[in-house]
Amino acid sequence: MNLILFGPPAAGKGTQAKRLVEERGFVQLSTGDMLRAARASGSPLGQEVAAIMDSGQLVSDAVVIRLIEAALAANPGAPGFIFDGFPRTVAQAEALDALLARYGQRIDRVIRLGVDEASLIARVTKRFAEQGRADDNPDTFVTRLRAYSDQTAPLLPFYGDKGVLVEVDGMASMESVAASIAAVLDGNLR
Ligand code: AMP
């Protein structure tokens, strides 16, 4: 089973993905984490994407597709992947379908975490104070939200048409979001 956790930045995708890794053995593929690791290592890729990430805009499709291609190849026999923060554009979604098809696989479920923007801004203001991530500063976060609504939200009909999209209430507590996701994965909610 391959899963996409879908939603705007700070919707809780990473937190829920990490739980599913622990509880169900999924392999989490987060392009945001991969890009942050590239920056921390000081690699040419990290240097190339740093300014774009700090501005809150999306890095190029080619860069993130290459990262996902390498991660799929590096995890043969994984019981399933959770894509977190990828795909973020229609071109990325099409590339993902083509990459998975190489392995005879597909996206089985896209779980959208439904959240409201005002609460997200409050959540990120708190995370900025606690963790100091440059792209969580309020101005940059507005740019990230705009990138989501302009470039990423158009993926909803893409997956809706394939019949794999399910929405859960992302504003509920972490525990109850996890329970809703579990119900989807166990086939009790569609
Ligand atoms: P995230 O932690 O997923 O919000 O990602 C942090 C930043 O990394 C984003 O604001 C983008 O600049 C970049 N990024 C992560 N994933 C992608 C992606 N799939 N496509 C383009 N840019 C991405």
How many whole angstroms from 84 Cα to the centroid of ligand 1?
A: 10
2-185 placed in CATH 3.40.50.300? yes
Residues annotated as catalytic are 13, 88, 127, 133, 144
Mean pLDDT of 169-183: 95
Mean predicted lDDT score pLDDT of the chain: 95
* 56 close to ligand 1 (CB < 6 Angstrom): yes
pLDDT digits (tens, 9 = 90+) for 73-90: 999 989 999 999 999 999
Q: Please list, in sequence order, all residues whose beta carbon lies within 8 angstroms of the beta carbon of residue 82, skipping any fewer than 6 positions away.
A: 2, 3, 4, 5, 17, 20, 21, 26, 27, 28, 29
116/133 Cα distance (integer angstroms): 21
Tell me if the pTM is above 0.75.
Answer: yes
Domain ranges of the chain: 2-185
Neighbour count for residue 30 (Cβ, 10 Å): 21
For ligand 1, mutation pick of 59, 65, 150 (most atoms within 8 Å of CB): 59
Q: What percentage of the chain reaches a pLDDT higher than 70?
A: 98
pLDDT at 32 over 60: yes
* 71 close to ligand 1 (CB < 6 Angstrom): no
How many whole angstroms from 45 Cα to the centroid of ligand 1?
A: 14
For ligand 1, mutation pick of 4, 33, 36, 58 (most atoms within 8 Å of CB): 58
Q: What is the pLDDT of residue 10?
A: 92
pLDDT digits (tens, 9 = 90+) for 121-169: 988 999 899 998 888 998 899 999 999 999 999 999 999 999 999 999 9
Q: What is the pLDDT of residue 187?
A: 86
Residue 44: strand, helix, or coil = helix
CA distances 102 to 19, 29, 31, 44, 105, Å, are 28, 17, 20, 29, 7
pLDDT at 97 over 60: yes
pLDDT digits (tens, 9 = 90+) for 40-50: 999 999 999 99
What DSSP designation does 189 have? -
Spatial strand order of the sheet with 27-30 comes to: 27-30, 81-84, 3-6, 109-114, 165-169
Q: How confident is the model at residue 190 (pLDDT cuts 50, 70, 90)?
A: low
9/137 Cα distance (integer angstroms): 13
* 141 close to ligand 1 (CB < 6 Angstrom): no
* 35 close to ligand 1 (CB < 6 Angstrom): yes
**DSSP notation for 77-93:** T-S-EEEES---SHHHH
* 90 close to ligand 1 (CB < 6 Angstrom): no
* 135 close to ligand 1 (CB < 6 Angstrom): yes
How many whole angstroms from 141 Cα to the centroid of ligand 1?
A: 12
Q: What is the pLDDT of residue 189?
A: 55
